[in-house]
Chains A and B, each alone.
Chain A
């Protein structure tokens, strides 16, 4: 596709429910990132996938959060037993292999999923 796509664009759920957020990166991009952005705040790094390497999960705020990336392409971020503090915009970004060559480092962001937990 032309850019990073995310679905759904908006998700309203009740506290305690599980949600799945999807990211489809730019074709050929090997690196995929998930971020969270609360209203008026900066980007909070959640998780990073690079090719077939083990993901960097150091940013996941709790064990209720998990993510997978199937076939090195599409990624799903799952939040179990959602809490009100999980309400935020969840952004996905992709890039070519970072660090390989300086031209490959730029991240391209999707439009985000706005999650509201009631």
Chain B
């Protein structure tokens, strides 16, 4: 079992729809969770981080965390073609010394 698992996609949604990206992790003691966006040929950049169970909203983005289920998700409302990228889930492991990245989910937003 991989430490951080994501569906590789591609996930295709029409413009204006909600894109839902999911991530599960194996280290039950993990405390910090991140979503990074990576455009083709570019480096990853942070979108959001979340530490507490529940939802955290930032503009069109909402991160959701459920520690009991070891599950974190990212919702993108009113998806735009410019949101087309690979989304990487990252988890800071127990002890807080190493961040583990998932393989990423490719998102395509069709105009």
Contact = CB atoms under 8 A, between A and B. Distances in A.
A50 B49 contact: no
A102 B51 contact: yes
A45 B97 CA distance: 13
Interface residues of B, number: 23
Interface stretch (B19-27, B54-62, B88-96): B88-96
Contacts of B108: none
A76 interface: no
Given A48-B98, A56-B97, A99-B96, A106 B88 contact: no
B97 A91 contact: no
Interface residues of A, number: 22
Contact of A109 (B44, B49, B95, B97): B44
Given A106-B34, A109-B43, A110-B43, A42 B102 contact: yes
Contact of B43 (A98, A100, A102, A111): A111
Contacts of B104: 42-43
Contacts, number: 59
Q: Is the interface of A mostly helix, strand, loop or mixed?
A: loop
Given A41-B103, A42-B104, A109 B96 contact: no
Interface in A101-118: 102, 105-112
A34 interface: no
Contacts of A111: 42-43
Given A42-B104, A43-B88, A91-B43, A107 B51 contact: no
B92 A98 contact: yes
A48 B99 CA distance: 10
B78 interface: no
Contacts of A43: 44, 88, 101, 104
A113 to B, nearest CB: 11
A65 interface: no
Contacts of A105: 32, 34, 49, 92, 96, 99
11 contacts: A42-B88, A42-B101, A45-B101, A56-B98, A98-B32, A98-B92, A98-B97, A98-B99, A99-B32, A102-B32, A109-B45
